């Protein structure tokens, strides 16, 4: 079919726009009342769309304690994807105060296992060791951390230490830490570590295995929890970056300086999951028949292609508009699976999902009738075969 013919067919397309759902009742909306939380700063974000569902001083710069190790572990695991070297622990690497995975000078283990020590027991020694192993010293490693933060979009963050120990120039915001949490959870190896309640690290020297338990109690307190990292210093208070997933909806919550952080995150997730739902278009009824011009048949069946899912609030689902776009006819030939139209879903004037409409079967053009000379030639060829 020529481009001009196809353009004409699209120009004459039938377009149908209809609202999909009735408005949500006031009673249903009452289930999602805004939670009261203890944190000085907090945010709840839909991990897939980036939509902010709850915010409290989310751009306030604050110390973030050991949630810093999310960045350190992410950089270690990204390096380990290229090469996962054996790290020999030195005196300098373990010369750090605070929580520890028990490293001693002379120990040998993989870089990726240091990430386990950071995420399970918040090992400052593990963070320091990884930083020096990757960059030579803590200062140069902080430069790597800040460069990666800029890539992620953390505009109000500055890293100084790999462990999260307090420094006047070491700070972030609840929103920035949520961006980091989303980025880290998109790394499958990182997500696999932080979702575990305990993990075993195999040391190369001495040859031994040590089991480490996860400090993140939310994994036990909230059934939908899938990670990620706790933090505490006297200056920062209790800090927590966490993630949870339910029915296709993935949320990330951050609280900074939160006396009741576990309760805060449970309240935030209850609020978020009540408010947000995974919407997948119902494509069962999206079957059509199109007239076809110049084909072996008069019509072609049209079926929907695959449909993506998106997280939406009840109010957004109520405002969705469906637009069906199909030409009045198509020209042969048509390939099986060829896109002949679409069904799109619009929210406040913006298309958020498009489902292709595809030809269910191929339709060929009829073969032109042979001339008399072609028929004679076919007869001659058949005699000699």
User: 288-293 and 225-233 as β-strands: parallel, antiparallel, unpaired?
Assistant: unpaired
Question: 88 is written with which tokens?
Answer: 């020999």
**Buried/exposed code over 194-222 (b: 16+ C-beta within 10 A; e: otherwise):** bbbeebebebeeeeeebebebbbebbeeb
Q: Where is 116: in which H helix or E strand?
A: helix 111-121
Can you count the helices (H) and strands (E) in the chain?
13, 18
Q: Where is 231: in which H helix or E strand?
A: strand 225-233
Which residues have CB under 8 Å from 56's CB, separation 6+? 37, 39, 41, 42, 43, 174
Task: List the one residue out of 147, 158, 145, 169 whose CA is nearest residue 70.
Answer: 145
Task: List the one residue out of 201, 197, 191 whose CA is nearest residue 113.
Answer: 201
d(C-alpha 201, C-alpha 183), whole Å: 24
Handedness of CA 312, 317, 320, 322 (dihedral sign): positive
- In the set 56, 69, 229, 267, the catalytic residue is 69
- In the set 99, 122, 225, 242, the catalytic residue is 122
Rounded to the nearest 5 degrees, what angle is found at the Cα of 39, between the Cα atoms of 37 and 43?
A: 85
DSSP conformational letter for 71: H
Q: Is 112 left (phi over 0), alpha (psi -120 to 50) or beta?
A: alpha
Q: Is 49 a catalytic residue?
A: no
Q: Is 66 a catalytic residue?
A: yes
User: Following CA atoms 58, 60, 63, 67 in sequence, which dihedral angle do they give, to the nearest 10 degrees?
Assistant: 20
Q: Is 344 a catalytic residue?
A: no
Q: How many CB atoms are closer than 10 A to CB 305?
A: 15
Question: 122 is written with which tokens?
Answer: 């918040």
- In the set 66, 163, 225, 311, the catalytic residue is 66
Return the SS3 of 380.
helix
Strand partners, 323: 17, 344
Active-site residues: which are they?
66, 69, 122
């Amino acid at each position: 079919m020529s481009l001009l013919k196809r353009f004409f067919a699209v120009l004459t397309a039938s377009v149908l726009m209809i609202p999909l759902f009735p408005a949500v009742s006031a009673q249903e909306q009452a289930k999602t009342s805004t939670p009261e939380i203890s944190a000085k700063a907090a945010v709840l974000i839909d991990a897939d769309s980036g939509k902010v569902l709850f915010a409290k001083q989310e751009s306030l710069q604050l110390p973030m304690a050991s949630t810093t190790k999310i960045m350190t572990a992410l950089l270690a695991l990204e390096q380990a994807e290229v090469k996962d070297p054996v790290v020999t622990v030195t005196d300098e690497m373990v010369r750090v105060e605070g929580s520890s995975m028990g490293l001693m000078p002379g120990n040998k283990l993989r870089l990726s296992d240091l990430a386990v020590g950071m995420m399970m027991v918040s090992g400052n020694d593990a963070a320091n060791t990884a930083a020096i192993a990757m960059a030579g010293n803590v200062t140069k490693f902080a430069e790597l951390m800040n460069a990666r933060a800029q890539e992620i979009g953390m505009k109000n963050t500055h890293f100084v230490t790999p462990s999260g120990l307090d420094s006047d120039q070491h700070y972030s915001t609840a929103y920035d830490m949520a961006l980091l949490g989303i980025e880290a959870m998109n790394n499958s190896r990182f997500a696999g570590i932080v979702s575990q309640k305990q993990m075993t690290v195999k040391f190369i020297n001495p040859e031994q295995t040590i089991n480490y338990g996860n400090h993140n109690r939310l994994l036990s307190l909230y059934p939908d929890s899938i990670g990620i990292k706790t933090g505490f210093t006297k200056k920062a208070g209790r800090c927590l970056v966490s993630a949870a997933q339910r029915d296709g909806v993935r949320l990330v919550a951050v609280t900074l300086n939160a006396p009741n952080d576990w309760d805060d995150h449970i309240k935030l997730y209850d609020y978020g999951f009540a408010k947000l739902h995974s919407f997948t278009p119902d494509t069962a009824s999206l079957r059509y028949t199109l007239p076809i011009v110049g084909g072996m048949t008069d019509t072609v069946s049209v079926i929907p292609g695959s449909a993506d899912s998106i997280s939406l609030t009840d109010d957004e689902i109520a405002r969705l508009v469906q637009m069906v776009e199909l030409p009045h006819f198509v020209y042969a030939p048509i390939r099986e699976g060829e896109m002949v139209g679409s069904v799109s879903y619009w929210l406040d004037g913006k298309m958020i999902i498009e489902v292709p409409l595809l030809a269910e079967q191929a339709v060929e053009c009829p073969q032109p009738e042979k001339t008399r000379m072609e028929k004679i030639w076919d007869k001659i060829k058949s005699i000699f075969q």
